[in-house]
Amino acid sequence: MKNLKNIAVAVASMVIFVNITNAQTLKANYSVSYEEPLKVKYLGDEGQYLLFEVVVHTGTSTNPLLSIRDKKEGEFYSSVEEPNLKPRTFKIEKRDDAQILNFNLVVGKKTYTKTFTVNKTTIEKIDVAENVADITKL
């Protein structure tokens, strides 16, 4: 009887061991398709103006609010836009001192921000840097 018990335990152990070694984790193959609702691209300068291309693509039926503000001057553009806006070019006047431009898009309770810092030097070289997009949930 003791021998039969040992054989049963050995067989059960082997079955469990085989199941554990044959068990495989499945790799999850999925991808998330995400398109930024606000795209802002610095195109260059034209005389006394900076050129920016703005694309709004929310994918929803709600009309988003697009605003552009200068840190020193305040908000100088605000408009309710179409949910899927064709690329638009904005001309923004250059200033002699450093400019910080915020492009804000409000969709529902979310705010998307693109920030550009413009530094104009005395040799007429213009540096424009984009900060990482901020997403604020309200």
Q: Is residue 70 part of a domain?
A: yes
**Predicted pLDDT at 53:** 92
Q: How many domains does the chain have?
A: 1
Q: Is residue 13 part of a domain?
A: no
Q: Is residue 91 part of a domain?
A: yes
Quickly list DSSP for the chain. -HHHHHHHHHHHHHHHHHHHHH--PPPP--------SEEEEEEEEETTEEEEEEEEB--SSSPPEEEEEETTTEEEEEEE--SBPPPEEEEEE--SS-EEEEEEEEETTEEEEEEEEEEE-TTS-EEEEEPPPEEEE-
pLDDT, tens digit, 9 for 90 and up, residues 14-50: 666 666 665 555 566 666 556 778 889 989 888 888 8
Q: Band of the pLDDT at 13, cuts 50, 70, 90?
A: low
**Predicted pLDDT at 122:** 47
Q: Is residue 30 part of a domain?
A: no
Q: Which residue has the higher pLDDT, 13 or 77?
A: 77
Range of the domain at 54: 38-137
CATH classification of the domain holding 46: 2.60.40
Q: Is residue 27 part of a domain?
A: no
pLDDT, tens digit, 9 for 90 and up, residues 48-89: 888 999 888 877 767 788 899 998 888 888 888 776 778 889
pTM: predicted TM-score of the whole model, two decimal places: 0.61
Q: Is residue 68 part of a domain?
A: yes
